[in-house]
Amino acid sequence: MRWPSIQALSMLAPLPAGYRYGRLDREHVPAVIAALQAWYPQIAVGGSSCYLREDFYRERVTLGDDLDKDVHATRILFGDEMVGFWSFEREEDSLAIYGRLIVVAPAHRGARLSVHALSGTESIGRAMGAAFMYALVTLKDPYGQRSLERAGYRLVGFFPGRDREEVAPGVVKRMYQAVYAKLLAPAEHVHWPDSRNLSPRARALFELLFSDAMPKG
């Protein structure tokens, strides 16, 4: 699964007029870190705090023309000003893509950049040959939840306390997260579980979540 170029990304997940994607080069990293700290102060704690470390970009993130790293990141520009940041991670062994982070500058949140970008994730995944895409959203973020739902992601459950976040100045707690998923593989490539192999609780929840996807006949 190879990441798309900036040109391909622009066609697969088009942004509103006036906005465009910008390649992330090594020299952009300090400005990205400063912007993330300003736009999303809570990022200083928890799983996404790695985006505040320069070594994370050097070791794991696509930079410049090097698209062979597992974590991809792109800037979102308005003119020449960076107003957003978007990052995914590929899981090649399972043909999956994890939507790690999307952050938009407060002054540009009315442009619905997250909705536009996320609406193109299926096209990105299919172009890369992915079979499954997923993302996690804290239950403090109703906008993120709605953006994924508008983009066709299915709410499949919740993680209790998987990650940490600063909920008030100096107060860090573990957070509940909503788990959203989008299956790209065709139905004939997916094994439907035998209900006899599910505990009563597992069967009840599975039927609640996936009854509409049950194979016909």
pLDDT tens, residue by residue, 9-24: 999 999 999 999 999 9
For the segment 31-37, the average pLDDT, to the nearest whole number, is: 97
Q: How confident is the model at residue 46 (pLDDT cuts 50, 70, 90)?
A: very high
For the segment 144-162, the average pLDDT, to the nearest whole number, is: 93
Please state the domain extents for the chain.
6-190
Residue 214 in this model has a pLDDT that exceeds 80: no
What does the chain look like in DSSP terms, one character per residue? Answer: --PPPHHHHHHHSPPPTTEEEE---GGGHHHHHHHHHHH-GGGGSSGGGGGG-HHHHHHHB-BTTB--SSEEEEEEEETTEEEEEEEEEEEGGGTEEEEEEEEE-GGGGGG-HHHHHHHTHHHHHHHHT-SEEEEEEETT-HHHHHHHHHTTPEEEEEEEEEEEEEEETTEEEEEEEEEEEEE-S-GGGSPPPPGGGS-HHHHHHHHHHHGGGPPP-
Residue 216 in this model has a pLDDT that exceeds 80: no
Q: What CA–CA distance (Å, rounded) separates 150 from 160?
A: 24
Q: What is the CATH number of domain 6-190?
A: 3.40.630.30
For the segment 148-155, the average pLDDT, to the nearest whole number, is: 93
Report if pTM > 0.95: no
Confidence at residue 217, expressed as pLDDT on a 0 to 100 scale: 57
Residue 154 in this model has a pLDDT that exceeds 90: yes
Contacts of 49 (CB under 8 A, 6+ apart): 43
